[in-house]
Structure 1
């Protein structure tokens, strides 16, 4: 059976990739939606390679059987097909297939310092009419910190994210942004005031008004603050990340 180790590893990895990309939305925990076709193609190729490897090894097995019979006739035999420990390589692929890791959450958010790309202060396009206005955390943060037109003034906004806790009882509505995949995730968040903090990693939709603080573009303006009037627990969205 050891000769089929590479085929088993390829098959498990391919099946895991197909499981998260072809048969559900789990792939959104790791990459952007646009990469789904590439994941499906990669998974299919791995499964096909596994099948091809099995067929090739069967042919080798028949040849090895003849060689072993000849070796026995001459009083010697071949060594083992490979180290048994190599089968341990199947464990990560099996774990990915059966227990896919969750999306990044508060642990990742808290490990990253509040580093923001340099942006110039300026005016932003007008917000849609009607309240509350549905915004991403990134949109809210950009307008709160950099919009010289103060487009958030007097407007009620609605934000969705997971809960992270800070010092002195502060808590934040947080979201991770990705450009390509979870490996390049960065944090965007808003401090929530006026409501009790839900448990860490709880997904919530909060409604409230912007609370100005600090000079535009300054460190004192970050993170932006929302005076919360309503907190509603929600399910984690299929795509937990915001696109950068």
Structure 2
């Protein structure tokens, strides 16, 4: 068993990956649909590598020290190169995927994340620059409106640029996508616009106006924040349409 331990481990992990990707759609609980081919290839490669390793050891060509197992150098304690015992920890997640696939994230995770975001975001923000209007990103305005205990937006005129999105009840928003490194991790930030007629969706605009406080600090009722518009001007889409988080 020691001789084939590493090979069996590779086969087990590969089979678990294939079980959720090649033979079903369980992988959608954990990754995006576009990653399926990579999972299938990875799983198949691990299974084939494990089989090849078992065959090599079966024929006796996989002994690194040339003395066989009798000399005590081929165990998995780190003397014979069969792999550290800690590698067997991979058996647990592999068996879980094979026998008891974990469910997709649900309401508990979503509610917990929302509570953590509110608790972590509330606080004071740096002072805004002097002079009006203040040029802010949509993300900056939204953060200050919802989480700033100092209410730095109060009485200030701000200017936001983004594209138009519409709500189901006739409301419209200035919206931007926020990214950390690429479009794959994009999240949405938006500001409801009042006192101005809506424009077609995806129209890029610059809106100047004043903050309209609503809801309690750091609560769901404060989201999305509201801006009372003074002017709305159509603009070209910027070269970089994303805001950085």
- Shorter-chain TM-score bucket reads 0.5 to 0.7
Count of aligned residue pairs for this structure pair: 131
2:93 aligns with none
Separation (CA, whole Å) in 1 of partners of 2:226 and 2:144:
12
Separation (CA, whole Å) in 2 of partners of 1:229 and 1:167:
24
1:153 aligned counterpart, secondary structure = coil
Please give the TM-score of this superposition, normalised by the length of structure 2: 0.52
2:131 aligned counterpart, secondary structure = coil
Deviation at 1:214?
A: 0.4
Separation (CA, whole Å) in 1 of partners of 2:210 and 2:148:
15
Separation (CA, whole Å) in 2 of partners of 1:123 and 1:181:
29
1:232 aligns with 233
1:64 aligns with none
1:174 aligns with 175
Deviation at 1:120?
A: 3.2
Unaligned runs of 5+ in 2: 1-109
Separation (CA, whole Å) in 2 of partners of 1:168 and 1:146:
25
Separation (CA, whole Å) in 1 of partners of 2:202 and 2:123:
34
1:158 aligns with 159
Unaligned runs of 5+ in 1: 1-112
Deviation at 1:121?
A: 1.2
Structure with greater helix percent: 1
1:169 aligned counterpart, secondary structure = coil
Bigger RCO (CA 8 Å, 6+ sep):
1
Separation (CA, whole Å) in 1 of partners of 2:235 and 2:162:
9
Deviation at 1:169?
A: 1.2
1:192 aligns with 193
2:22 aligns with none
1:99-134 Cα offsets, whole Å, 9 max, x none, are xxxxxxxxxxxxxx9x86713311111100000000
Deviation at 1:167?
A: 1.9
